[in-house]
Amino acid sequence: MLSFPANMNFVSRRSPVVGRKGMVATSQPLAVAAGLEILAQGGSAADAAVAVAAALNVTEPTSTGIGGDVFALYYEAASRRVYALNGSGRAPKALTLERLRREGLDKELPPFHPYTITVPGACAAWCDLVERFGRLSMDRVLAPAIRLAEEGFPVAPITAYFWARGVERQLRHAVNGLELTLEGRAPRPGEVFRNPGLARTFRLVAEQGKAAFYQGPIAEAIVAVVQEAGGCLALEDLAEHRSEWVEPISTTYRGFRIWECPPNGQGLAALLALNIVEGFHVAEMDPLGPERLHLLIEAMRLAFADARWYVADPAQVSIPLEELLSKAYAEARRRHIHPQKATLDVQRGTPLATSDTVYLAVVDGEGNACSFINSNYMGFGTGIVPRGWGFTLQNRGHNFSLDPDHPNALAPGKRPYHTIIPALATHEDDGSLFACFGVMGGFMQPQGHLQVVVGLMDDGLDPQSALDRPRFCILSGEAGGTVALEDGIPLATMARLAEMGHPVRPVTGHGRAVFGRGQVILRDRDTGVLWGGSDPRADGLAMTLIK
């Protein structure tokens, strides 16, 4: 078996991929191939996106799966309209703050505790997206993933690394977690892994639709394993789950409109930061110099201060989105930025109200685009596996606040603050598609969106160059958090940022995972030519259809 480098040393370059008939970009080549197969059969961007998501569940279960949640944005070329799908699940009806207090869990839930399991929303979201915008049946859409799971696939190098970490962090300790191992260990790079249980899950969904997941034997297995682990998810919680089509939120930036899903997703943080940065002439600054990075970091600190308070379930909390996204509010928040000094104690604003994860991008030959993100959270999520069904259950409930006065406080049937956020960009003048993009990775995601947008729109970079550029990450998504700085940012810049008061941490090797993994597909509105890029921090690529 071949060996591979122990560290992620970026020593070469990659050109953007260019094509016309359709394009897929994600973190696993086999999943890209699945999406292209569906496009070649006449499938839409929606069909291909779900095929890719299912294939990623097979090939990268370290990040994603049908036991997790989904958010998606869909650009319909014919109408030039953007649609948003919230495929996140809710807390069990039996889970209350009082219950946690009785059990001594009133400060914070352990990250892999069964109480962190919210209803998995992915399956319903897959089915709903295909039902509304697809052209193919679910059995055809899921066929590539079923084949991969049954026949097996060689595990990619970076995936193998994180699989081994997941075995030690979660799978070895979780109920049935060892079902996703090879005799108790992770598969090695290039080793073939088969998942007949997941193939069985997908076949049932292909035959019976989403009801197969939320009722019947899969639902019963989910409830049984959660209750065996000490949780309180019930069959009623699963049976009552619904995806939700919602109005996307957006802001303008340099002649483009940037689209995100609304709360309970954290896309709001990216838009808040972009509104703030729009007031600075960052295109005139060194892209990796301290002046620009300081302004971007400070904008993100302000955005996180607001997002960590205001992002919650809009079904249970009123969120002043119009005021938060106004240019006037951005101007007021911009005044908090000192040009030479970090502000670590920034507080949330008070607008005046008038009343780790996989990301994939697909654009089909007609110009429809699907920006899609599917996640377990924290790698394998809880690591708990419904016996015999081949997938882990997420731990999204860990993002609830246990402060009863917080808008994001845990409550029965409530959706938590969600880190996963897809994005789209359209031309402001005519609404035509410009970019389908996203950067996965916990609280890195809005920070990745900010940095990729600046690269594309302020610096005019191609998608691959925008993704290759070294990044910063405010760790933990807290306004005053330590700033991780990626290898490739000049040491002089790191030193100057530290002098300005930013607590900085240089990061290299596999630690680069903290900076997320993004995908970008641009569309030239004059020629219809697609330009794609895929993050070097993952195993994937962008690829185009040839006919």
Tell me how far apart the alpha carbons of residues 176 and 229 are, in angstroms, rounded to a whole number: 10
Question: Does residue 54 form part of some domain?
Answer: yes
Stretch 362-389: mean pLDDT: 96
CA 477 to the chain's CA centroid: 14
Question: Does residue 2 form part of some domain?
Answer: no
Percent of the chain whose predicted confidence (pLDDT) is above 90: 90
Stretch 482-504: mean pLDDT: 97
> Same domain for 514 and 538?
yes
505 pLDDT above the threshold of 60: yes
351 pLDDT above the threshold of 60: no
Per DSSP, helices labelled H in 311-458 are 321-324, 327-334, 444-453
**Torsion sign (Cα): 48, 53, 57, 59:** positive
> Same domain for 212 and 76?
yes
Q: What one-character DSSP code corresponds to residue 542?
A: E
pLDDT in tens, 254-271: 999 999 999 999 999 999
DSSP string, 209-248: TTHHHHSSHHHHHHHHHHHHHT----HHHHHT---EEE--
Q: Is 355 exposed, middle or buried (CB count within 10 Å of its CB: 0-12, 13-18, 19+)? A: exposed
Stretch 492-503: mean pLDDT: 97
Element holding 545 (H helix, E strand): none
Tell me how far apart the alpha carbons of residues 214 and 233 are, in angstroms, rounded to a whole number: 12
Stretch 391-416: mean pLDDT: 96
Tell me how far apart the alpha carbons of residues 337 and 235 are, in angstroms, rounded to a whole number: 50
2 pLDDT above the threshold of 60: no
Show the domain range for 473.
246-357+419-544
* Catalytic residue numbers, as ranges: 357
Q: Which residues pair with 476 in a beta bridge?
A: none
Which of 285, 276, 395, 247 shows the shortest CA–CA distance to 346?
276
> Same domain for 322 and 464?
yes
Question: Does residue 5 form part of some domain?
Answer: no
> Same domain for 302 and 181?
no
Tell me how far apart the alpha carbons of residues 237 and 180 are, in angstroms, rounded to a whole number: 26
> Same domain for 283 and 197?
no
Q: Of the residues 399, 431, 459, which one is the last residue of a structural domain?
A: 399
The residue among 12 and 41 whose pLDDT is bigger is 41
Residues 6 or more apart in contact with residue 212 via CB below 8 angstroms: 204, 205, 218
> Same domain for 220 and 103?
yes
Stretch 469-481: mean pLDDT: 87
Stretch 439-468: mean pLDDT: 96
> Same domain for 323 and 345?
yes
Q: Of the residues 368, 399, 430, which one is the last residue of a structural domain?
A: 399
Question: Does residue 411 form part of some domain?
Answer: no
Q: What are phi and psi of 251, to 5 degrees?
A: -150, 165
> Same domain for 48 and 136?
yes
Question: Does residue 207 form part of some domain?
Answer: yes
Q: How far is CA 149 from CA 61, 192, 198, 366, in A?
A: 11, 10, 7, 31
Structure tokens at 215: 């009722």
> Same domain for 182 and 325?
no
Stretch 495-501: mean pLDDT: 97
pLDDT in tens, 272-285: 999 999 999 999 99
Stretch 246-255: mean pLDDT: 98
> Same domain for 281 and 392?
no
Question: Does residue 50 form part of some domain?
Answer: yes
451-456: long-range contacts (C-beta < 8 A, 24 or more apart)? 451/296, 452/518, 452/520, 453/253, 453/258, 453/270, 453/274, 453/425, 454/277, 454/282, 454/296, 455/287, 456/425, 456/520, 456/522
Question: Does residue 294 form part of some domain?
Answer: yes
Please report, for the domain that includes residue 526, its CATH number. 3.60.20.40
**Average pLDDT score, the chain:** 94
Residues 6 or more apart in contact with residue 420 via CB below 8 angstroms: 69, 70, 71, 265, 357, 373, 374, 375, 440, 445
pLDDT band, very low/low/confident/very high, at 353 (cuts 50, 70, 90)? very low
Determine the 3-state secondary structure of 17 from DSSP.
strand
67 pLDDT above the threshold of 90: yes
> Same domain for 211 and 251?
no
Q: Of the residues 365, 399, 433, which one is the last residue of a structural domain?
A: 399
Q: Which value, in Å, is the radius of gyration of the alpha carbons in the chain?
A: 22
Question: Does residue 1 form part of some domain?
Answer: no
> Same domain for 263 and 197?
no
3 pLDDT above the threshold of 70: no
pLDDT band, very low/low/confident/very high, at 355 (cuts 50, 70, 90)? very low
1 pLDDT above the threshold of 70: no
331 pLDDT above the threshold of 90: yes
Tell me how far apart the alpha carbons of residues 517 and 420 are, in angstroms, rounded to a whole number: 12
Which of the given ranges, 101-110, 128-137, 509-518, has the highest pLDDT on average? 128-137
CB 15 within 8 A of CB 540: no
119 pLDDT above the threshold of 50: yes
Stretch 133-140: mean pLDDT: 98
Tell me how far apart the alpha carbons of residues 471 and 225 are, in angstroms, rounded to a whole number: 40
How many domains is the chain partitioned into structurally? Answer: 2
Stretch 385-393: mean pLDDT: 98
The residue among 479 and 134 whose pLDDT is bigger is 134
Determine the 3-state secondary structure of 177 from DSSP.
helix
Return the number of other C-beta atoms located less than 10 Å from residue 255's C-beta: 10
CB 407 within 8 A of CB 317: yes
